[in-house]
Amino acid sequence: MVEILHPTELARAKDTGVLVADILQTLKSRSTVGTNLLDIDRWTETMIVEAGALSCYVDYEPSFGRGPFGHYICTAVNDAVLHGMPHDYTLADGDLLTLDLAVSKGGVAADSAISFIVGTSKPPESVAMISATERALSAGIAAAGPGARIGDISHAIGAVLSEAGYPINTEFGGHGIGSTMHQDPHVSNTGRPGRGYKLRPGLLLALEPWVMADTAELVTDADGWTLRSATGCRTAHSEHTIAITNDGAEILTLPKQAQP
Ligand code: MG
Ligand code: MG
């Protein structure tokens, strides 16, 4: 089912979006050499509770996961890319870390992910991969607006990722979002322009280009959740929640200080 938000709900969606973005920026600043993934999870829980919000993850139990997730954030390091379950791991210099967070507040959910390199070393391949997902996300957002179709967004994202030389996995992509975290329509990270659901003002979408350096194949960890690249190569992921408005697309998951 596709959910279209009323203008009054859009204001609440913005509040949730800023909260998600602010938590991610705080976590990024605290994720340094020596930080444990379980600390990141604990800090996330505290910030969600203090904001009077609800975790979309802790009780999440989809068909592809093993039991409730039981954690408050996804932490994916290096070859891990999606649904990274926080575990007892201490971050090292040069680790490529993805933090993916969805929370609900005032009845509206928002979902965002950032990838960055921990410490001072900046492996060029990791920098390039993160940049490609960020540019693909920007292209997808630029292609979203009333009257455009989901295929236009998918095509714009896929064009950037392909041009950068990355294979594209079509099992997991973006999605509608609103009163719950995952809704229709699905937003593949590659597609044909002019196809698919026609965007309408009030629709919220989470766009999330992600790539693996040299494969499109995923393998699942023994934890039943964490998805890694089949070849062990590095991965990156960038996600924003956007609202379709009469004027185009508005990014909801920008930190407070980045608000226009
Ligand atoms: Mg996400
Ligand atoms: Mg998402």
Q: Residue 167 sits in a domain of what CATH number?
A: 3.90.230.10
Its domain, for residue 195, covers: 7-255
84 Cα to the center of ligand 2, angstroms: 13
* List of residues 6+ apart from 127 with CB closer than 8 A: 117
* Banded pLDDT at 66 (limits 50, 70, 90): confident
Q: Could you tell me if residue 154 is inside a domain?
A: yes
pLDDT at residue 260 tops 90: no
The environment of the single-atom ion ligand 2, i.e. residues with CB closer than 5 A, is: 111, 206, 208
Q: Could you tell me if residue 24 is inside a domain?
A: yes
| pLDDT reported for residue 119 | 97
104 Cα to the center of ligand 2, angstroms: 13
Alpha-carbon distance of 206 to 61, in angstroms, equals 19
The environment of the single-atom ion ligand 1, i.e. residues with CB closer than 5 A, is: 100, 111, 113, 239
| pLDDT reported for residue 65 | 78
pLDDT at residue 194 tops 90: yes
* List of residues 6+ apart from 258 with CB closer than 8 A: 21
| pLDDT reported for residue 108 | 97
Q: Could you tell me if residue 260 is inside a domain?
A: no
* Banded pLDDT at 64 (limits 50, 70, 90): confident
pLDDT at residue 22 tops 90: yes
Beta strands 210-212; 80-82: pairing state: unpaired
Q: Could you tell me if residue 2 is inside a domain?
A: no
Please give the tally of structural domains in the chain. Answer: 1
pLDDT at residue 62 tops 90: no
Q: Could you tell me if residue 12 is inside a domain?
A: yes
68 Cα to the center of ligand 1, angstroms: 16
Q: Could you tell me if residue 1 is inside a domain?
A: no
* List of residues 6+ apart from 82 with CB closer than 8 A: 74, 76, 100, 172, 210, 218, 226, 227, 237
Q: Could you tell me if residue 147 is inside a domain?
A: yes
pLDDT at residue 93 tops 90: yes
Average pLDDT value over all residues in the chain: 96
Q: Is 191 helix (H, G, I), strand (E, B) or coil?
A: coil
